[in-house]
Amino acid sequence: MSKPLQHANPASRALNGVVVVVLFDFLPQHRSWAWLKLMQGTRGFYNTLPGLLFAKVMGSGEGGGFSLRPSSSHQGLIFLFDGLHSAHRYLNSPQLAIYREKAREWWQGILGVNSCRGSWDQQSWQSQGLWSEDAHGTNSQHVASLTRGSVRASKAMSFWRYAPGAQQDLNEAPGCELSMGLGEAPLLRQCTFSVWKDTKSLLNYAHQGAHQKAIAAAQQHGFFTESMFVRMQVLHMRGLWGAQTFETNAPVLQALEFAA
């Protein structure tokens, strides 16, 4: 929802890799199965997925939004792998196929880190330098944004006062093709993921309206104990989300024969 309010902790560890995000809206008959998976968290992932550096299993708000009411069907996986081959291997793995088979809609993406400010569990993400972004907002390729924060318990009510307006602006923002509110823990450990048609659209949203007000409030009142903002290049995306079909592979993946 807002930019980090602090530099990365000097004691934080930098992780160099590529990001994989997978979103699900599970079918009614599989929601109990999905709930159990959510409760299990990342148990077993590090032992079974080669090249995995970082993993989060996330719940969501009602309708997949940024809401106090939890969703019974929406979940997200956020992983960081050591390289493109490991990321691609996971997206084609039997483990992930089981999730997709149980979903009404799903979306998957491989994302290259362009910039990262702050940290998550005292870990920051670094770019592998195989892709680039125009910082002036003229990049015509799809980009993605991930913002997460650990909310101070004493500031939770104030933080959530700003969330509905920022979420509504995000849903209506020109150029936003997909967005989802995610939660690592109820109320206090929140994350927003969004995909944009280009960098200019993302920057236009970030610097105006309810989102800008939320940033100012977070800076003034110190909402977060830890936060991270990551801007990423979309290297691959595929799926059906919000009745919209996605199918994109950046040249760097095409060259490595990673076509979906």
pLDDT, averaged across the chain? 85
54 against 161, higher pLDDT: 54
pLDDT band, very low/low/confident/very high, at 158 (cuts 50, 70, 90): confident
Looking at per-residue pLDDT, the higher value among 253 and 134 belongs to 253
Average pLDDT on 42-54 reads 94
Taking the C-alpha atoms of residue 143 and residue 179, their distance in angstroms, rounded to an integer, is: 12
Residues contacting 62, CB < 8 A, separation 6+? 69, 70, 71
pLDDT score, position 138: 47
**H helix intervals, the chain:** 31-40, 45-48, 84-91, 94-101, 156-172, 199-206, 209-221, 251-255
- Count H helices and E strands in the chain, helices first: 8, 11
Check residue 5 and give its pLDDT: 40
Residue 9: the pLDDT is 53
Residue 40, classified by CB atoms within 10 Å of its CB into exposed (0-12), middle (13-18) or buried (19+), is: exposed
For 150-166, give the secondary structure using H, E and C: EECHHHHHHHHHHHHHH
Cα–Cα nearest to 225, from 79, 118, 123 = 118
Q: What is the pLDDT of residue 63?
A: 83
What percent of the chain lies above the pLDDT cut of 70? 82
Kindly tell me if the per-residue pLDDT of 180 is higher than 80: yes
pLDDT at position 256 over 80 = no
* Mean pLDDT for the stretch of residues 193-203: 94
Neighbours of 102 (CB within 10 A): 17
DSSP3 helix / strand / coil % (the chain, rounded to 5): 30, 40, 30
Domains and CATH numbers, the chain: 13-255 (3.30.70.100)
- Return the pLDDT at 131: 63
Q: Is the pLDDT of residue 53 over 90?
A: yes
pLDDT tens per residue, range 55-67: 999 999 888 887 7
> Tokens 């409760």 map to which residue?
39
pLDDT at 38: 95
Is the predicted pLDDT of residue 26 greater than 90, yes or no? yes
Flag whether the pTM goes above 0.85: yes
**What are the structure tokens assigned to 165, written together?**
């307006």
Q: What is the pLDDT of residue 132?
A: 61
Say if CB 87 and CB 110 are below 8 A apart. Answer: yes
Closest among 217, 219, 156 to 189, alpha carbons compared: 156
Q: What is the pLDDT of residue 4?
A: 41
Query: What six digits make up the tokens of 193?
Result: 């993921």
Q: What's the rounded Cα separation, in Å, for the pair 95 and 127?
A: 27
Do residues 21 and 110 lie in contact, with contact meaning Cβ atoms separated by under 8 Å? no
Please, how many CA atoms are within 13 Å of residue 187, restricted to the half-sphere of its CB? 8
Q: Is 59 helix (H, G, I), strand (E, B) or coil?
A: strand
Q: What is the mean pLDDT of residues 223-249?
A: 93
User: What end-to-end distance do the CA atoms of the chain give, in Å?
Assistant: 31
**85 or 155, higher pLDDT:** 85
Task: Quote the pLDDT of residue 159.
Answer: 79
For 107, the 3-state DSSP assignment is strand
pLDDT score of 103 more than 80: yes
230: closest CA among 191, 189, 180? 191
